[in-house]
Amino acid sequence: MTTTGDSRQQREGQARFQVGSAFYRPRSAIARDLAVLCASLYRQTHARLRVLDAMSGCGVRPLRYVLEAGADWVWANEGNPEVMPILAANLACLPGDRYRLTQHNSLRLCLDCYQRQDFYDLVDIDNFGSPAPHAEAGLWAVRLGGLLYLTSTDGRSSSGHDPQRSLQIYPAYARCHPAAHEQGLRLLLGHIAQVAAARGLGIEPRFSLFTGQVHRVMVRVVRPSTLTPETYGFLAYCHGCGEFQTITWRQLGQVNCPCSQPKIVVSGPLWLGPLHHRPTLTAMGQLASTWGWPTPARLLQAMAAEAHLPPYYYTLAEIGHRGGMDIPRRDRLVKALHQAGYEAAVPHLEAQAIKTNAPLAECLEIARSLPGDQ
């Protein structure tokens, strides 16, 4: 990452820019690749794409939305006055009628859009730390049927290491368990769904991405609310036996585990609905292949495979540990689960794990029956 006075010319996609004193994380390029693909599809479908990029930094996102996604118009806003000169210089390559550049507080900017009834097809907010209050703000500025792309870099609280803080942010009580990275995405989605529902709006996740430090979710904003006891509930994990279970609000008083030494923790409320919209992922993957983008195409394929699986995963290390065996070969285990009639895939956010509708006990049985290495 680059944070101070970098005058080298950078390149990402079709964007050419300098970072200067702005914050730029090259590792998050994949999050911008997916956003560009999703935005481009939106442009194709709706014959229109107006983007509000509320925290533009050095401007790589507005550049890519115009140059690659074909955005008709992008509003690039940045609250930090020190970054404005480099942002202005980087955007100067765009035609003047394709963008607007301002220096406002992003929250006030979104509320101002609402007051003027100026709504956007895509609102992108790439903030530091927790998603609150940016989810609230983004919903003011996005048009019905439009896309909202939100961020959380607050992995410590969403992974269960600071449940009091997660309660203050989401608000949900996050506990520690092996599927913590997915929990970060589901807390973020649950928060947006709840804030939207309070206004009679709903969300439909297009894709949800974890890049190692950053959680990002792209949701379509719809009406009516999509928040129901089925999509918004609790995840229980038993430290005794390693099994997960989803818990609805009505089941809260009956949380139990049939194992011999139950030790249950309950996280939530969080989003229990799909992480991704499979038809969108397929269309994005086709576009990525057409554009010659193999890495996003592979990632989108992995995301499509996991889209409808349960809201947790088992790490291979835990399977090895609980089964008292060597860590099983991932691909062999996935294949064996398929042969046993289960759905199984490798979660996009954790390469050394499997996502499946098989109970952990069944995974352990199947892993034990795998032939050893020759």
Q: Which is nearer to Zn ion, 212 or 240 (CB)?
A: 240
From the centroid of its chain, how far is CA 76?
22
For residue 178, the minimal CB distance to Zn ion (Å) is 14
Helix (H) / strand (E) containing 63: helix 60-67
> Minimum distance between the CB of residue 152 and Zn ion, rounded to whole angstroms?
30
Residue 305 as a binder of Zn ion (CB under 5 A): the answer is no
Residue 262 is a binding residue for Zn ion (CB under 5 A) = yes
Q: Which helix (H) or strand (E) holds 17?
A: strand 15-20
Residues 174, 159: contact at Cβ < 8 Å?
yes
* Residue 360 near Zn ion by CB under 5 A: no
| Rounded Cα gap, residues 141 and 290, in angstroms | 32
Query: Of 214 and 241, which CB lies nearer to Zn ion in the complex structure?
Result: 241
- Give the pairing of strands 215-222 and 202-210: antiparallel
**Shortest approach of Zn ion to residue 113 CB, angstroms?**
49
Output 89 or 259, the one with its CB closest to Zn ion. Answer: 259
CA-to-CA separations, 1 to 14, 21, 78, 166, 269, in angstroms, rounded: 20, 11, 19, 26, 34
Is there binding between residue 257 and Zn ion (CB under 5 A)?
A: yes
Interacting span for Zn ion (CB under 5 A) from 16-24, 133-141, 213-221, 257-265: 257-265
320 binds Zn ion (CB under 5 A): no
Q: Does 240 bind Zn ion (CB under 5 A)?
A: yes
247 binds Zn ion (CB under 5 A): no
C-alpha 114: how far from its chain's center? 25
Cβ atoms of residues 183 and 177 within 8 Å: yes
Query: How many chain residues bind Zn ion (CB under 5 A)?
Result: 6
Q: Which of 241, 272, 275, 354 binds Zn ion (CB under 5 A)?
A: 241
For Zn ion, which residue of 252, 259, 302, 327 counts as binding (CB under 5 A)?
Answer: 259
What whole-number distance in Å separates Cα of residue 59 and Cα of residue 81? 14
Summarize as ranges the residues that interact with Zn ion (CB under 5 A): 238, 240-241, 257, 259, 262
